[in-house]
Amino acid sequence: MDVSALYLKIQSQLDQQLPLVIYKKPGENKVNSFLQEDAILHEVRSYETPGFVFAPFHSDEKTILIPEAKSVFLRATISIDTKKQLYFENNFSNSKEDQTSENDHIVLVQKGIDAISNNLFKKVVLSRKEEILFTEEKQPLEVFQGLIHTYLNAFVYCWYHPKVGTWLGATPETLLTVKGNNFSTMALAGTQPYVDSMKVSWGTKEIEEQAMVTEFVLEELAKKVKTIEKSKAYTYKAGSLLHLKTDITGILKNVQSNVKDIVEVLHPTPAVCGLPKKQARSFILEHESYSRKYYTGFLGELHIANENSSESNLFVNLRCMEFYNNKAILYVGGGITKDSIPEKEWEETVRKTETMRRVL
């Protein structure tokens, strides 16, 4: 399908206030979309129904499915033009940060460090939101097009449901990929800006944080799978940022292995929650002064047929925003360990919001 015709279909779906998702997988030159034929809110129960899943950070929120059987699937090939990433610059006014100001975030991070010193947990991921006001009304498809030309190696999406709202993002982190009985995931942690070179040094804080994430994923998944292997940690570029990454692959116990079991082990990952997970999550829910909603949840294809098997491709919902006609709410966070410095943690969140601001 011609990409211009696809965008017209998407815009028509938005105008009719019908659920949809349009997305591009990392490194691909195709955009895919599910256009739901009614406005019903379908909740996920067993993770067995094919479609596109959109899950929150906390289980109190609804996990939503755009079912394949109740949708039209469309795909188009695009030509990537990195010059388009500049199209949206300087089109927004000053941000409105309210309770997510620099001082508030520094105080929150210090509380996390104090809790680690008191042995409540080893790591916690703390976040904030930032409101961007546009000087002129924007359409989500405009922003989506800016994202796909800016973040070639990210999972880029625009998701809409009239009963929930509009979300967009460009996430660098895979939660889970399943093809037949083969699976892959990753451990991703640590952040520093990309400045002309991938040859960088990582501090003790980042190396230990990434090792904690890797160890957790390996230990928890080993209980659910037949075999599991990992790569060495390496530097990975996502937009204008660098991260430490370990690839993890293996074989499920059988083809019928329930994706739900694996997802419940992984989500929320230590990279977006902390370790131990239960204690870190409780701290987040008590001390973060807002609801994350679908930030640090996950999203993606669930049991989509491909040749002789089905595939599930799920991604952690990072580098994302909740979108309105005249504003966007950006969500951003970072991992806190015993070696964290509150002021530097604030600066890291600023770098991450700048990544999204470039597209806005």
pLDDT tens for residues 241-284? 899 999 999 998 876 667 888 898 899 988 899 999 999 999 99
CATH, residue 270: 3.60.120.10
Strand intervals (E) in 48-151: 51-55, 64-67, 71-77, 92-96, 123-134
Question: 23 in a domain, yes or no?
Answer: yes
Question: 307 in a domain, yes or no?
Answer: yes
Question: 87 in a domain, yes or no?
Answer: no
Cβ–Cβ under 8 Å, residues 314 and 171: no
Look at the pTM and tell me if it is higher than 0.75.
yes
Peptide bond into 276 cis (omega under 30): yes
Question: 90 in a domain, yes or no?
Answer: no
Q: Is a pLDDT exceeding 60 seen at residue 133?
A: yes
Cβ–Cβ under 8 Å, residues 181 and 310: no
Range of the domain at 314: 3-82+96-357
The total of structural domains in the chain comes to 1
The pLDDT value given to residue 354: 81
Mean pLDDT along residues 178-195: 88
Question: 254 in a domain, yes or no?
Answer: yes
Cβ–Cβ under 8 Å, residues 123 and 274: yes
Question: 91 in a domain, yes or no?
Answer: no
Question: 88 in a domain, yes or no?
Answer: no
Cβ–Cβ under 8 Å, residues 241 and 191: yes
The pLDDT value given to residue 255: 60
